[in-house]
Amino acid sequence: MKDKIITTLKILFSFWKTSIAIDMEYRLNFFVEIVSVIGNLSGSIFVLSLLFGPNTTLGGWSWNDSLIILGLYTILDGFTTSILQPNLSRIVRHVQNGTLDFVLLKPFKSQLWLSLRVISPWGIPAVISGFILIAYSLAVNSRMIQSEMILLGSLMLLSSLIILYSLWFLLSTLSIWFVKVWNTTEVLRSTLVAGRYPVSAYPNFLRIIFTFVLPIAFLTTVPAEAILGGVSNVYFIGSLVFSIFLFTSSILFWRFALRYYTSASS
């Protein structure tokens, strides 16, 4: 088991060395990305500030607490830029060009290959600024930070990353049948934007959709509640169960889809 993990890590490391080598060819992109993260973040903070007057709350969330949600959203956005977007959008291209053949013929788990073949450094500025925003908000609030909350918060963040990944992978898997599924993943990414604000700030019907249909609540609001020490048991367990369920589904669905893979003809 241990050997297997070490081998897998070695392979992933060799993947990332090549992908970073390709990205480093384009140095300017890095600075553009930093500027774009700063621009996006200040835009979001500005919009958020418009929603707050003195002593007002947004769906029961104070200004400072809302910043934690924004920070979590920024982290997820960075994760999307670094891992999800560059890897999972390739699945469609692989199916279209038939180069998925090469992935399937390697003695390495194809889902792992397709999910982690490339790592793009361009999402790192967003991830770092997300963490800074959370730390800032906690500091300004001068809350007592308990290690338990950090642990629960991290667990919920991990769970939200898995949910987001699994949803994205499930949608990308559809390309085995429908080939072009760019639009569906685009819908996912734009819905994620709704996660910038607390789910309770939305009207009732959207709140239901964002919890049960598109799990926006589990992506940012629930982890923020966990960090603040106010997450209910139902949501906490719900998030874990949901992430395990979606992750398992993504594995099973991929295996099922491969039975229908026809490999683009040559």
Partner 1 sequence: MSIITARSLTKTFLVSTKKPGIRGTLRHFFARSFSRVEAVDCVEFDIEPGEIVGFIGPNGAGKTTTLKMLCGLIHPSYGQALVDGDIPHLRHSSFLKKITFVMGQKQQLIWDLPPLDSFKVNAAVYGLTDLEARKRIHELANMLDIDDELKRPVRKLSLGQRMKAELMASLLHRPSVLFLDEPTLGLDVNAQIRIREFLSDYNKKFKATILLTSHYMADITSLSRRVILIHKGKIFYDGDLKKLTESLSPSRSVNIEFHNIYPRQELEQYGIIEEYQNSYVRFLIPREKLSLSLTSILNRFSVKDLEVTDLPIELLISELFKHGKTQNVNIGS
Angle between helices 85-97 and 182-192 (to 10 degrees): 170
Give me the amino acid identity at 206.
Answer: L
**Among 8-16, 48-56, 138-146, 200-208, which window interacts with partner 1 (CB under 8 A)?**
8-16
Taking CB under 8 A as the rule, does residue 177 contact partner 1?
A: no
- Cα–Cα distance for residue pair 141/136, rounded to 1 Å: 8
118 dihedral zone (left: phi>0; alpha: psi -120 to 50; beta)? beta
User: What dihedral do alpha carbons 61, 185, 114, 32 form, nearest 10°?
Assistant: -70
Closer to partner 1 at the Cβ: 108 or 236? 108
User: What dihedral do alpha carbons 128, 129, 134, 140 form, nearest 10°?
Assistant: 130
Taking CB under 8 A as the rule, does residue 55 contact partner 1?
A: no
Q: DSSP string covering 110-133, please?
A: HHHHHHHS---GGGHHHHHHHHHH
**Among 46-54, 59-67, 93-101, 134-142, which window interacts with partner 1 (CB under 8 A)?**
93-101
- Cα–Cα distance for residue pair 120/200, rounded to 1 Å: 33
Enumerate helices (H) and strands (E) in the chain, giving the number of each. Answer: 14, 0
Q: By CB under 8 A, what part of segment 16-35 binds partner 1?
A: 17-18, 21-22, 25
Among 14, 96, 154, 232, binds partner 1 (CB under 8 A): 14
Taking CB under 8 A as the rule, does residue 253 contact partner 1?
A: no
Closer to partner 1 at the Cβ: 11 or 244? 11
Among 5, 28, 50, 105, binds partner 1 (CB under 8 A): 105
Closer to partner 1 at the Cβ: 102 or 245? 102
Closer to partner 1 at the Cβ: 106 or 232? 106
Taking CB under 8 A as the rule, does residue 96 contact partner 1?
A: no
Taking the complex as a whole, how short is the minimal distance between the CB of residue 16 and partner 1, in angstroms? 10
Taking CB under 8 A as the rule, does residue 183 contact partner 1?
A: no
Taking CB under 8 A as the rule, does residue 266 contact partner 1?
A: yes
Give me the amino acid identity at 97.
Answer: N
Taking the complex as a whole, how short is the minimal distance between the CB of residue 257 and partner 1, in angstroms? 12
- Cα–Cα distance for residue pair 162/230, rounded to 1 Å: 22
* Two structure tokens written together for 149: 């909350």
Whose CA is closest to 4, among 147, 112, 78? 112
**Among 32-40, 96-104, 132-140, 145-153, which window interacts with partner 1 (CB under 8 A)?**
96-104
Residues that bind partner 1 (CB under 8 A): 7, 10-11, 13-15, 17-18, 21-22, 25, 97-99, 101-102, 104-108, 259, 261-263, 265-266
